[in-house]
Amino acid sequence: MNIAMTRRLVLKDWYLQRWLILSSLLGGVVALGIICIGGNAAFLFGLILLITDLIAIGAQLAISSIVQERKEQTLPFVMSLPISYREYTSSKLVGTMLIFLLPWTLMVEGSLALFALPGGVPHGLLPFTLIMAMEILVSTCMICSVAVVTESQGWTVATVMVGNVAVNGVGYWVAHLNGIARGMGGHAVMWSSAASVSVMVEFLVLFAMLGFTFYFQSRKRDFL
C-alpha cells in the first residue's frame, strides 16, 4: 500500500476543508453555550442546533470532498497517480471521517462536560446522549460510503435525507426503551443492558458499512 500517497490525499482534503472545520467548531461552541444558559427551551434549541451542525458538516464533507471530485473532473487526475482503488477508498473514508471526528469528538466531550456542571443536565440523559452521538457518527459514515461508491450527488443527498430521518427515528425509539426511558429524568446514571446492546449494534453497523464500501469498490472496473 502506498501510504505516503494516501497520506497526501488525506492532507489535501484536510486543507481544502479547513474553513468548514472551523465553522463547524464555532457552531458547536454556540450550541453548547445555549445549552449552558439553562432552562428547557434553551436546552432543546441548543440540542437541535448541535445535532444540525454535526449532520450538516457530515453531508457537506461527503459532497465537497468526494462527489465534487467526479463533477469537477479531478477524479481522473487522482486515479492517474500511483494508487490503487483500496488506497483511494482509504484516503476518502479516512480523510473524511477524521475531519468529521474532530468536531464530533469535541462536541461529544463538551456535551459530557455539561453533566459535570452543578444543576446542569440530568445525569440520567448520559446513556441517551452517547447512543445518539454514535448514531450521528453511523449516519455520517453511511453518507460517506454511499458518496464513495456511487459518486452521485443525487444518491448522496438522498442518503442525507434518510440519515436525518433515521436519527430522529432512532432517537424516538431509544428514548422509549424500558432500560433507558426509566432513568432519563433522574439525577443518577442508569446504564442498562439496552444501552450496551444499542452501542454495540451501532459499532457493528459502522464497521459493516466500511467493509461493504471496500467490497463494492473492489468490484468496480472503471473509476473514471
Whose CA is closest to 171, among 30, 51, 38?
51
223 assigned to some structural domain: no
pLDDT at 155 over 80: yes
For 120, other C-beta atoms within 10 Å of its C-beta total 14
**Of 10, 221, 75, 69, which Cα lies nearest the Cα of 2?**
10
Q: What's the CA gap between 107 and 67, in Å, rounded?
A: 26
224 falls within a domain: no
Residue 141 CA to residue 143 CA, distance in Å, equals: 5
Q: Please give the model's pTM, rounded to 2 decimal places.
A: 0.83
Structural domain for 146, as ranges: 3-218
For residue 132, give the nearest of 160, 101, 168, 106 by alpha carbon. 168
Average pLDDT over residues 63-85: 69
Q: What is the CA radius of gyration of the chain?
A: 19
Q: CB 99: neighbour CB atoms within 10 A?
A: 23
* Residue 129 within any structural domain of the chain: yes
Q: What is the pLDDT of residue 207?
A: 92
- CA dist 120 and 37 (Å) reads 9
Per-residue pLDDT for 208 more than 90? Answer: yes
Amino acid found at 126: L
Q: What is the number of structural domains in the chain? A: 1
- In a domain, residue 64? The reply is yes
pLDDT score for 205: 93
| Mean residue pLDDT across the chain | 80
Residue 13 domain-assigned? yes
- Report if residue 120 sits inside a domain: yes
**How many of the other CB atoms lie within 10 Å of CB of 206?**
18
Q: Which of 42-51, 57-66, 103-112 has the lowest mean pLDDT?
A: 42-51
Instruction: Extract the C-alpha cell encoding 103.
Output: 468536531
pLDDT of 22 over the 90 cut: no
Instruction: For residues 37 and 128, give the distance between their C-alpha atoms in angstroms, rounded to a whole number.
Output: 21
